[in-house]
A and B are shown apart, each in its own frame.
Chain A
Amino acid sequence: MLSEFSVNGDQKLKAVKVISALLLTVQIVSIMAFGLSFHTVTSILMTTLSGDPLQLELNFDHTGRGEMLIELMPLNQGFLDAELILKVGALDQFGDYINQNSSRIHLRAGSNRSVILSLQFSSEDYEKLAQDSSIEVTVDLKTLNNLVGISNSLRMEMQNQ
């Protein structure tokens, strides 16, 4: 039965060596890719959606018109570049968007950017915002040539005062 194989023993041994080397390469590449992308993704998320870098400001004038400013300062402490889509939205009590805005940025490895997103509100929106509304900040993050992605959506209920 073994004689059916057309290649000789040396060629097969060579094939075993080549596949072993290929296997080792794939394993090393996948572990490195996982480690680098995970490091990049976590470092950006930690600096974007937690702590001081997230600044939120909501102001209404006497006519009822208002503006919300959200400042995000993502910092890429990883070794890979990343593509970020930052979205901010105001939702009414039923979960429907009153207004939303987004911005796309390219964050190079080791760099940081400041992004200010604004939401404009009319006087009618003010009424909606006053009733159990919430603010949603979403960070869509892709790294490793857009092969690895993470989306973090933070929804906060508005405190009416």
Chain B
Amino acid sequence: MNRRNRALISAFTSLIVFAIIPLYAPSKLPIELFDSMTDAGFDIQNFTYQIAAIGVLSSILTVIKGFTEESSFTYLFTALIGNGVTLYFTLATLTLGDITSLGVSTITMNIAGGSNTLILDMSIFVWFAVLTLGLQVLLNILTFIESRKNGLKRTNAEDLAIEAQMQEQQSIHHIADE
């Protein structure tokens, strides 16, 4: 399977998993659960819209990457934007849609005869995600440099081959003229 087909399949899968399912799933939830989540301060609609937007963007980036050369600047920029989108997705998931909380989420639920407040501190995983982003960016840049260099090497080799071929043809012509 070539890169383009792989990219198309991958983009289609991302679109279904991260855009279509998150947009469709809330309509299947019981209305009571929907209301209790809203009461708890969790804006499920906003959360699903964010995930769906990330899914659409991610699919577009996957297609662009599949249809461009690894040594092109378009590929590099697309890969870097893709890294940013992945970080945003991780943060949105960890912080339940409120990325400004940086991993500390508060959920308050009303229960029979009282209330239940939950404060989750997942900030360490936010730092893990940032570290992953840094490494991915570095990896993409190095891969890009490597591809460019290989491309240049290939171009030089092709030039040398063409030059040798031309010299050979010239010498053949020269001999034929003689």
Contact = CB atoms under 8 A, between A and B. Distances in A.
Interface of A: 2, 5, 9, 12-13, 15-16, 19-20, 22-23, 26-27, 29-30, 33-34, 134, 144, 147-157, 159
B124 A33 contact: yes
Contacts of B139: 16, 19-20, 23
A22 B142 CA distance: 14
Given A22-B135, A30-B132, A144-B124, A2 B145 contact: yes
Contact of B125 (A12, A22, A34, A156): A34
Given A2-B145, A144-B124, A154-B115, 6 more contacts: A19-B138, A30-B125, A152-B117, A152-B118, A153-B118, A155-B116
A135 to B, nearest CB: 8
B142 A19 contact: yes
Contacts of A34: 122, 125
A2 B117 contact: no
Contacts of A153: 116-119
Interface residues of B, number: 28
Nearest to B90: A30
Contacts of B142: 12, 15-16, 19
A16 B146 contact: yes
Interface string B119-135: 11110110011011001
B128 A157 contact: no
A132 to B, nearest CB: 12
B152 interface: yes
25 contacts: A9-B149, A16-B143, A16-B146, A19-B142, A20-B139, A26-B128, A26-B131, A27-B132, A29-B128, A30-B128, A30-B129, A33-B128, A150-B121, A152-B117, A153-B117, A153-B118, A153-B119, A154-B111, A154-B114, A154-B116, A155-B114, A156-B113, A156-B114, A157-B113, A159-B113
